Amino acid sequence: MERVIAVLLFAMAFGVVPAKAQSTETFEDSGGTCSTHTVSHNGGAAINWVCQAAIQSGSIEANSISFSVVLNPDGSFNNGYISFYDQTGQLTYVSTNFAGNYGSGKFSGVFSGTMPDGTFFSGQTNQTVASRVAIVRGAKHTYYSIGSGSGDVTFN
The letter for the amino acid at 57 is S
| Mean of pLDDT over the chain | 87
Cβ distance 67 to 110 under 8 Å?
no
Cβ distance 89 to 112 under 8 Å?
no
Helix (H, G, I), strand (E, B) or coil at 118: coil
What is the average pLDDT across 19-36?
87
pLDDT at 37 (0 to 100)? 92
Q: Model confidence over 53-110: pLDDT tens digits?
A: 999 999 999 999 999 999 999 999 999 999 999 999 999 999 989 999 999 999 999 9
In which band, very low, low, confident or very high, does the pLDDT at 43 lie, cut at 50, 70 and 90? Answer: confident
Alpha carbon distances (Å) from 5 to 2, 15, 17:
5, 15, 19
Q: Model confidence over 8-27: pLDDT tens digits?
A: 334 444 444 444 578 999 99
pLDDT at 75 (0 to 100)? 95
pLDDT at 13 (0 to 100)? 42
Q: Model confidence over 114-151: pLDDT tens digits?
A: 998 999 999 999 999 988 888 988 888 888 888 889 99
